[in-house]
Structure 1
Amino acid sequence: MSRNEGTIDRVLRIILGLVLLSLVFVGPATPWGWLGVVSLVTGLIGFCPLYAVFGFRTCPLSKTP
């Protein structure tokens, strides 16, 4: 499993995940806030399964000698 998310993408996913999770505990307690777990986990590990399925990458390709 190689990374397919760039730095900016990962940071945005982590922020979005934390905001959505905060809705569960602080704001209106709706089940939609639990979607923040998916965003948070994919941001932390740097891999998005949907990106892999569609062949999309925001991570720059590593240069191999």
Structure 2
Amino acid sequence: MTLVINGEAVAVPDEVKTVGDLLAHFRLENKLCIVEVNVRIIQKHEYETKALCDGDRVEIVHFVGGG
């Protein structure tokens, strides 16, 4: 499946079926993230049930500490 992630077309493995799977694929599942799919912010409790489809536009924002 191909998703548009943060403005870039990215092919993801067939195992990626939900937002939770996508975050795990990018090793972001334990990070504080905001995820938007097709201009809709996805609540954290929906990550494991929100299915992704070919061509979906996904925006992922995660926070990085620094000083």
* Bin for the TM-score computed over the shorter chain: under 0.3
Give TM-score scaled by structure 2 length.
0.24
